[in-house]
């Protein structure tokens, strides 16, 4: 099979972790007889530096012409520390989501057994946790009308959603729940926000279409508490853009490291696969960043973009083995850490050496 992929390394540690993911993708492609074809594109601060815009037209054309996009990280402290900057790297990510129609971000939360001791939660709370967060990506406060008035002393951001936007993300969430444990949690703030009341209204109308799925409704502040108190109670969680941004980062801490969780952004055109962490500029160029989330994002790419489940399974097996053998970076093991490139080499070698009986 031909795997035509756009590679967007982005900023900070993006190039380093992407290099490791590409090692793994090449190893898996060779193992299973696929042809991996890829081309690099610019996004984020590096794109601003070279083109003046964080998501150039050439990058968008490349993404549209590809079967999948592997994306590293975005962000630069030059812009973080300048609130008056007219152009920001993060605008490239928002533009990519909007122009590619990426309306759903999928983030699985599954701790590694050998790393449960690193979670800030007690073992008995973390064991058996396995849920998926589905975040709406193209609506809400991030894309609503915004601005300043009263000589710049009053700022506003508008949280806007349409019925169609809510219905399409709920349909996807129900499809996920149907393939899992048949439970869907719709998270909103319907006791305060009009936009959330529309979310709940639409979800209540749709729930009878899925009688075999247990649909529950939860205010976002309660959800934030329950993710920490009883994370095993969740199966599929769906929510709007900003709530999803916050809750998924909170949920990621359950695993013990932000460097472990992948994500998929799916929608109308080409899907994008990326780690949930940021660009970590303090580590850029030091060969110390954790590449596992990026590598697991490649596993999701095989599964979601190409329906190649065995390939994704082998990558996960190799990652699990590397963690069990303590072939990990300093964020997981400070006593005897491996370099970013060492972890990538070890996982790629594991895949290359895997016996056919394992596949």
Render each residue's pLDDT in the chain as its tens digit; 359 residues: 999 999 999 999 999 999 999 999 999 999 999 999 999 999 999 999 999 999 999 999 999 999 999 999 999 998 877 777 788 999 999 899 999 999 999 999 999 888 888 888 999 999 999 999 999 999 999 989 999 999 999 999 999 999 999 999 999 999 999 999 999 999 999 999 999 999 999 999 999 999 999 999 999 999 999 999 999 999 999 999 999 999 998 998 888 777 788 999 999 999 999 998 889 999 999 999 999 999 999 999 999 999 999 999 999 999 999 999 999 999 888 788 999 999 999 999 999 998 754 55
Is the domain of 68 the same as that of 81? Answer: yes
Among the candidates 223, 255, 287, a domain finishes at 255
| Residue 145: CATH number of its domain | 3.40.718.10
pLDDT at 228 (0 to 100): 94
Is the domain of 316 the same as that of 348? Answer: yes
- In a domain, residue 114? The reply is no
Is the domain of 15 the same as that of 90? Answer: yes
Is the domain of 295 the same as that of 315? Answer: yes
- In a domain, residue 88? The reply is yes
Among the candidates 189, 223, 255, a domain finishes at 255
CB atoms within 10 A of CB 247: 20
Q: Which residues contact 117 (CB under 8 A, 6 or more apart)?
A: 123, 256
The H or E element containing residue 175 is helix 163-179
169 contacts 203 by C-beta, under 8 angstroms: no
Is the domain of 125 the same as that of 231? Answer: yes
Domain that holds residue 334: 1-103+259-359
In the chain, how many domains are there? Answer: 2
CB atoms within 10 A of CB 40: 12
Among the candidates 208, 232, 255, a domain finishes at 255
Burial class (CB in 10 A: 0-12, 13-18, 19+), 75: buried
pLDDT at 356 (0 to 100): 53
Is the domain of 243 the same as that of 204? Answer: yes
Known catalytic residues are 142, 189, 221, 245, 249
List the beta strands (DSSP E) in 163-266: 183-188, 214-219, 236-239, 262-266
CB atoms within 10 A of CB 310: 14
Q: What is the pTM of this model?
A: 0.88
Region of 294 on the Ramachandran plot (φ > 0 left; ψ -120 to 50 alpha; else beta) = alpha
pLDDT at 357 (0 to 100): 47
| The two structure tokens encoding residue 54 | 């964080």
Is the domain of 146 the same as that of 240? Answer: yes
Is the domain of 66 the same as that of 166? Answer: no
pLDDT at 249 (0 to 100): 87
- In a domain, residue 109? The reply is no
- In a domain, residue 115? The reply is no
- In a domain, residue 83? The reply is yes
- Residue 278 to residues 56, 244, 259, 344, Cα–Cα distance (Å): 20, 16, 9, 19
Is the domain of 156 the same as that of 187? Answer: yes
- In a domain, residue 311? The reply is yes
CA distance 225 to 306: 36
């Amino acid at each position: 099979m031909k795997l035509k992929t756009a590679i967007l390394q982005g900023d900070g540690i993006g190039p380093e972790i992407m290099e490791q993911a590409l090692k793994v993708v090449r190893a898996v492609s060779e193992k299973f007889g696929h042809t991996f074809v890829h081309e690099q594109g610019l996004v984020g601060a590096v794109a601003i530096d070279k083109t003046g815009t964080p998501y150039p037209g050439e990058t968008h054309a490349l993404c549209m012409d590809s079967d999948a996009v592997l994306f590293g990280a975005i962000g630069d402290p030059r812009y973080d520390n300048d609130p008056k900057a007219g152009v920001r790297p993060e605008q490239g990510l928002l533009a990519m989501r909007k122009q590619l129609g990426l309306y759903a971000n999928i983030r699985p939360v599954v701790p590694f057994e050998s790393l449960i001791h690193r979670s800030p939660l007690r073992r008995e709370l973390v064991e058996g946790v396995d849920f998926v967060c589905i975040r709406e990506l193209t609506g809400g406060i991030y894309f609503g009308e915004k601005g300043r008035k009263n000589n710049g002393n009053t700022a506003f951001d508008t949280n806007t959603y349409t019925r169609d936007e809510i219905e399409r993300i709920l349909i996807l969430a129900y499809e996920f729940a149907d393939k899992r444990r048949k439970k869907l949690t719709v998270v909103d703030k319907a006791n305060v926000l009009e936009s959330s009341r529309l979310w709940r209204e639409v979800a209540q109308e749709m729930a009878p279409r899925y009688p075999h799925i247990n649909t529950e409704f939860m205010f976002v502040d309660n959800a934030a508490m329950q993710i920490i108190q009883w994370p095993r109670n969740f199966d599929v969680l769906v929510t709007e853009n900003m709530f999803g941004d916050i809750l998924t980062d909170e949920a990621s801490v359950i695993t013990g490291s932000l460097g472990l969780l992948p994500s998929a952004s799916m929608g109308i055109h080409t899907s994008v696969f990326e780690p949930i962490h940021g660009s970590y500029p303090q580590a850029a160029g030091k060969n110390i960043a954790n590449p596992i989330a990026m590598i697991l994002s490649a596993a999701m790419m095989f599964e979601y973009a190409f329906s190649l489940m065995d390939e994704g399974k082998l990558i996960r097996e190799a990652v699990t083995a590397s963690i069990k053998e303590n072939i990990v970076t300093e964020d997981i093991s400070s006593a005897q850490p491996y370099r970013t490139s060492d972890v990538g080499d070890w996982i790629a070698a594991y895949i290359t050496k895997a016996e056919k009986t394992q596949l």
